[in-house]
Structure formats: C-alpha cells, structure tokens
Amino acid sequence: MLKKRRTLSSTLSGQSVTLTSSRLRPGRFELSVDGVAQSVVSLSDPTKLAYPYTRHIARAIDAAAPSGAPLFTVHLGAGALTLARYVQATRAGSPQLVVEFEPELYATMLDALPLPEGSDVRAVFGDAREVAEAASASGAGWAPGPAPGQGPGQVSEPESQQVSEPEPAPQSRHASQVDAGRTATPTDWAEAEFTIVDLWDAAVIHRRVASREFFALVAARSAAGGAVVVNLLDGHPFEYARRQAATLGDVFAHVAVVLDADPLDADGPLGNVLIFASDAPLAVAADPDLLGPPRPHLLCAGQLAAWVGDARVMTDGDGAESPDPNDPRWE
C-alpha cells in the first residue's frame, strides 16, 4: 500500500510517472505521466469517479448487463485501473483483461494501490496493436475463471500534494503482483463484452491504435453485440474526433458520440470525447438519460452524420496523431 511515495517508476520511453495523494480526501490518488493527469482512484469507494468522462463510461457499463451480473471487460491501457476497480465494485468477480505496455509500471501500481480482494483482473503485456494482431492470428482462447484477489483527465486538483519517495521496493514484490495467476496471453482477448480503448502515451494517441485496421482487430475480439468505447481529447472544430467517429462507423453498425463541451461552440475548450460503437443498438443512444445528470451532449443517428460530415476514415496509411493539448488554439 502506498504510504510515502512520489515517483513510482520511469516508463520504457523515459517518461516520469507520479502518484499524488489528496490532503482533503483520504484514500484518493492521482496518477500522472509527464505531468499529464491520467487516472484518479478512490480506494475507499471505487464508485466515486473524479472525471465526467469516467462517469459516462461507468454508466454505459451499468447498462451493458443486468445489475450485478458478470461482464467480461477489456481495458486497453491500464492507468491506475480506475474503471477496473469500478467494475469489481459493481459487478463483483467479473473477469477483466488489461492490455498494458509497461509491466514494471503495472506491477508497481498494484503494489502501491492493490486491487480489491477477489478481483479477477489479468494482464497481457505489450503494444496494444501487436497484441490485437497476435490475438487475431492465434484464434480464441480464455475461458475466464477465478484468480487470486489481487485515459486522461483534464486537470490535477489543487488539493493534491506530492509525497516523498521511499526506498525502491524489492523486485520480488513486483514479481508477486504479476504472476501466473494474473497474467494472460493475446489469445485470452476474445469475446469481450465491453472494451475500453484508452491508449495514451502521456498526452498523445498514436495513429497505429486509431485506424480502421486497428478497430477491425478490436471488433474481431468482441462478443456479438459487445460495446467498445474510445476516449480521446479534442475541441472545436473536432477534426480528429469527427474522423475517429467516421472510422468507427466504418467498422461498427452503431456509433454514438458523447462529450461535455458544446460540439457547435467555436470557442469551446479542449475536452474528453467518447465514441461508443457496437454492432448492436447502443444503450446510450436508446436512453440518453442514463448518462446524466448533468446530461452531456449526445450525437447519434442523423445528428451524428451531420456532425461527422465529410470527415475521412483514418487508415494505417492516412491516419493522424491526436491533437496536442498544449496547442495555443485551446487557450
């Protein structure tokens, strides 16, 4: 358990990874990478979600299956496992799979902020695109079973304080958190009922995990009628988000966009945009009230088509990195 820690780890690319604790809210922690807020965790109550976009995803998870029923959930990008903790709190024992690029960071995170007892969360370590390709090449796999209990918000809270760094934990402690009972292989990514795509490299989403080819791989690993949600940052005129919506619409039969900023406000700020997709009708489109209050902006059907307009589908050969949040146009 984290007591006095400042820097958790450095990623393979040399980025600074920091966990801060809240002075005013005991048991609440924020993970940041290179100064960019990624996740907020409440250990005392995992259902308390700090960022609106995580609450929108959580409400969609609530609607994805009957209350309390198990839901095989796949998380592309681990962060601090905020939504994995939410699923465990609301659907105890649900099988969950995480695809994470940094095994040492993942192990250190679990050491600092352990998952609740009884959690069935397993991890595949590697680049999400390569894991998806390996899963598709190898065929189906995992029948989820019990395991031992054990994307970026907008701003850091001013109440948070950084705490001093302890002596490094022994490697054996890291290894104990990522053992055979919690690790998985690419073939275990199959028949996902709900997939959260939160693939950030600090403040950037790389084009190779935002293309039609990538989302086709994600669709192939989804159960019939399974839902996918992609978390990204964008602002007016939403060029990147509109292209992402067009791309997901080229792969899935049903798409809906959820955002807190007014999509027509030319002076609106940069903010989280969620794109939900499925081959079955989406719960968020059928019942917009499940996302509020306060209710965010929801675009689907004809309104979504008008918003997307002539935005081009992103392919491996014609993709783009996500917008730079430090671009002066967002100030």
CB atoms within 10 A of CB 151: 26
Burial category of 271 from C-beta neighbours within 10 Å (exposed 0-12, middle 13-18, buried 19 and up):
middle
Residue 155: CB atoms within 10 Å: 7
| Cα–Cα distance, 165 to 160 (Å, whole number) | 16
Residue 186 identity: P
DSSP 167: P
Of 32-41, 200-209, 224-233, 251-260, the range with the lowest mean pLDDT is 32-41
What single-letter amino acid sits at 206? Answer: H
Q: What angle do CA 39, 40, 46 make, to 5 degrees?
A: 120
Q: Is the pLDDT of residue 312 over 50?
A: yes
pLDDT for the residue numbered 71: 98
- CB-based contacts of 52: which residues, under 8 Å, 6+ apart? 260, 272, 296
**Distance, CA of 41 to CA of 281 (rounded, Å):** 31
Residues paired with residue 28 on neighbouring β-strands, in sequence order: 42
CA dist., res. 231 & res. 151, Å (int): 7
**What local confidence, expressed as pLDDT, does residue 316 receive?**
97
Is 172 a residue whose pLDDT tops 70? Answer: no
Domain 46-161+173-330 top-level CATH class: alpha beta
| Confidence bin at 29 (pLDDT 50/70/90) | confident
Confidence bin at 53 (pLDDT 50/70/90): very high
Confidence band (pLDDT; 50, 70, 90) for 301? very high
What does pLDDT average to over the chain?
82
Show Cβ contacts of residue 172 under 8 Å, excluding neighbours closer than 6 positions. none
Residue 39 pLDDT class (50, 70, 90 cuts): confident
Provide the strand spans (E) within the chain.
7-10, 16-22, 28-33, 36-42, 73-76, 95-100, 120-125, 160-161, 192-197, 222-234, 254-259, 271-278, 297-300
